[in-house]
Structure 1
């Protein structure tokens, strides 16, 4: 059988909605560079061709045509290399017998992977018709539909009010910051990188789809700007969110300081240490760089005097942490940044949204209001 005929009689999946609603395991056989530009949550990249293969074969295709490109592909992916790649697919397939595989367009690469897998294992593993491109186009179409079909309610409140924690008490919610892997402020970087824009959009749309098809059309979102770190909310959804009813949660200043200290100091120290394999010195170094780097981002807005004040507080807190492991000195800069920097900005922003404000109250009162709006 020629490669052009590979996989023609093997199963094909065309129900893209079911793939995403049922969280079907996905084997992505695209090259790593393609996968890293955008993928689906939970998909695993076990490529047929690595990045160098893809470039070389693509160049051959442009210069000499399809047959010559296929010949080069068979030369580069053969012997032990081919065996290792098919073995990796077999391991995935045996762990996820209900899954699917795909390449970019559902063409030669996925059919070849299907055929080689079948020849080695006898397993008729399905491939996605149209591949990644069809699934991506489907999600973009669904996002446009969902942006007008759902009813968002926006949860607002000053920085440190615990809005994200509050959000997680509900089923009918979308946590944009979790999807973006960023807290949505100058100090919002996480120890692990953000997803690419396409990956963020894919994950967001899949979550919206699942909520919608569970009958949950009214959804709670946290109040976010257009950009969350390096990714941005798709314009069609951002427009819907920017016109939605706003609920304002009021939390006492000292409670906000305590929440922010826990999240931005205690939790971050633990996270940076974990990312560095439990090495406390490396974790502290990464945490220190994160703090001072985050402050530098807002230097111009703070102004010279306030920036020097905040920097001094941070540096004293970090020195104290080195001396005795105590983190309580961090309360000083946390309080200063919250009350002197974030609060005036928030007050200005909320003043422009008064016509959308439908309720203001304590967390308990907001919870009761949302329950009255059938948000669970």
Structure 2
């Protein structure tokens, strides 16, 4: 007897962070899945490819027979063991394949033969993805957005996450939205980013309610593109302009892009390789804005950055980075931001330091 029924309550799955077992092949999982989903495939990529060819040439019955031959013996037991570990770790989970059909049913059957049970998501990945696409557009259309804006280095993300109903676009994209913004871990693919965004907006609407706070972003956050409809809504939404003194902005930039990044690279790659990769990250980020800086200004900033890196390598001191950070802010980022803000002056609700905006929002 089934302990829990199969489900098509997609909203509940995402609002409750229900654990999801994605049994599609790794290549399918890599194209896109859902927040927190674990991939434990019924068939690997090669097996899926062979079965697909057999299906086209000889039909479903022959394809099913081939699948059973390919996934048998020790291979089958290894796959079942992975599913059983998932169930033991996540007894409230669900499984899904692409459409909730043959692969899901077969997986359920093998799990039941092993003495456990795991309900499936009706309609599978295709239905879950369609639900999120529809909900994303609906929520973008009906939500009230407020945009946290401010010069580079004012700590917008820090403030955003203290506001009543935030959706952190940079966190969802795993990128801080500038030339220097990449993290040591990779960004999600576009489909994964859209799924994360849809789930975040669902939670903002159903769990919290009220205006949704977003950070001012361009169309691309790294390589992740915001939906056009969201960009259109953000372009007309009211602004909360965060202001900070220059020395505090320099401190924030130094903390985020020097201290944190060298620690992250070192943790990932070890001392020597981590330092080398951190240097490359910082210098290449500056090089990416060379054309916009102009050759002479870029060379001067690069020399300052290289000097700061030498001092940091020799002594551990990061204060040498302040010179290039200040120059980059004053000569490049600030004029660009100030010009853009002039075009948006009529949308400003409040401006001031973090405490001013925090108390206004609450």
TM-score with structure 1 length normalisation?
0.93
Is 1:102 aligned to 2:93, yes or no? no
Give secondary structure in 2 for the equivalent of 1:329: helix
Moved over 3 A (4+): 8-11
Partner Cα separation in structure 2 for residue 52 and residue 337 of structure 1: 50
| Kept after mapping to 2: 8 A contact 1:149/1:217 | no
Shift of 1:242: 1.5
Is 1:349 aligned to 2:316, yes or no? no
Shift of 1:281: 1.2
Give secondary structure in 2 for the equivalent of 1:174: coil
Partner of 2:10: 16
1:309 to 300, 303, 307: 300
Cα-to-partner distance string for 1:96-146 (whole Å, 9 max, x where unaligned): 11110000111111111111111112x231000000110000001111111
Identify which range, 320-329 or 155-164, moves more after superposition: 320-329
Q: Where do 1:95-244 residues align within 5 Å?
A: 95-121=89-115, 123-244=116-237
Partner of 2:314: 323
Partner Cα separation in structure 2 for residue 337 and residue 157 of structure 1: 16
TM-score with structure 2 length normalisation?
0.97
| Kept after mapping to 2: 8 A contact 1:10/1:114 | no
Is 1:80 aligned to 2:78, yes or no? no
Identify which range, 180-189 or 212-221, moves more after superposition: 212-221
Shift of 1:286: 1.0
| Kept after mapping to 2: 8 A contact 1:153/1:244 | yes
Identify which range, 305-314 or 214-223, moves more after superposition: 214-223
Cα-to-partner distance string for 1:258-304 (whole Å, 9 max, x where unaligned): 1101111001111111122xx11111111111011111110100000
Partner Cα separation in structure 2 for residue 283 and residue 58 of structure 1: 43
Partner Cα separation in structure 1 for residue 37 and residue 232 of structure 2: 30
Unmatched 5+ stretches in structure 2: none
Cα-to-partner distance string for 1:176-212 (whole Å, 9 max, x where unaligned): 1001000000100101100011111111111111121
Partner of 1:28: 22
Shift of 1:10: 9.0
Identify which range, 360-369 or 155-164, moves more after superposition: 360-369
| Aligned-CA RMSD value | 1.6
Partner Cα separation in structure 2 for residue 11 and residue 108 of structure 1: 17
Partner of 1:300: 291
Cα-to-partner distance string for 1:217-271 (whole Å, 9 max, x where unaligned): 3111111111100101112222212211111111111110111011110011111
| Kept after mapping to 1: 8 A contact 2:165/2:208 | no
Give secondary structure in 2 for the equivalent of 1:104: coil
Partner Cα separation in structure 2 for residue 244 and residue 306 of structure 1: 35
1:65 to 49, 59, 68: 59
Partner Cα separation in structure 1 for residue 90 and residue 250 of structure 2: 46
Cα 1:10–1:327, aligned 2, differ >3 Å: closer, same or farther?
Answer: closer
| Kept after mapping to 2: 8 A contact 1:11/1:124 | no
Shift of 1:13: 0.8
Is 1:332 aligned to 2:323, yes or no? yes
Is 1:260 aligned to 2:253, yes or no? yes
